[in-house]
Amino acid sequence: MLEVQEVPRTGTKSWLQERPIPPGDLLRYQRAFSEALAERECNSEIQRVLERAADDNNFIAELTYRGAKALEGYKLTLQAKAALLSGDIRWIEARLGKLNAHLRTWLDCRLAQEIW
């Protein structure tokens, strides 16, 4: 776990010059930041898919019959694609929070289908 230290309100530049970040820590910070940014972007893409499906019946048909090919234009992780295509509401709500009925349109349709 990374430790947060209090930064003085004045003289920040000199404080940073006196306290360089060790290269190993810098790489860890960069990796953690990149992962958090990618997860945030993926969550935003999941929401875009759900919004489009809620408003576009043709997209629901694409998701149903074309699966992952319907998601090609979105920056999604494999886990996110799997959750969307299988209707894994728990996984998605764990990332986005409780979904309203409008955003659940595709997921409810997917779970009602008998195509596995």
Expressed as residue numbers, the domain containing 106 is: 42-112
Q: What is the pTM of this model?
A: 0.70
Q: Are the CB atoms for 2 and 29 separated by under 8 Å?
A: yes
What is the per-residue pLDDT across 59-116, written as a single tens digit (0 to 9) for each?
999 999 999 999 999 999 999 999 999 999 999 999 999 999 999 999 999 888 876 5
- Domains contained in the chain, number: 1
Q: Are the CB atoms for 115 and 64 separated by under 8 Å?
A: yes
User: What whole-number distance in Å separates Cα of residue 53 and Cα of residue 95?
Assistant: 18
35: in domain: no
What is the per-residue pLDDT across 36-52, written as a single tens digit (0 to 9) for each?
777 888 899 999 999 99
Query: Nearest-CA neighbor of 64 among 115, 112, 10, 105?
Result: 115
14: in domain: no
**What is the amino acid identity at position 60?**
I
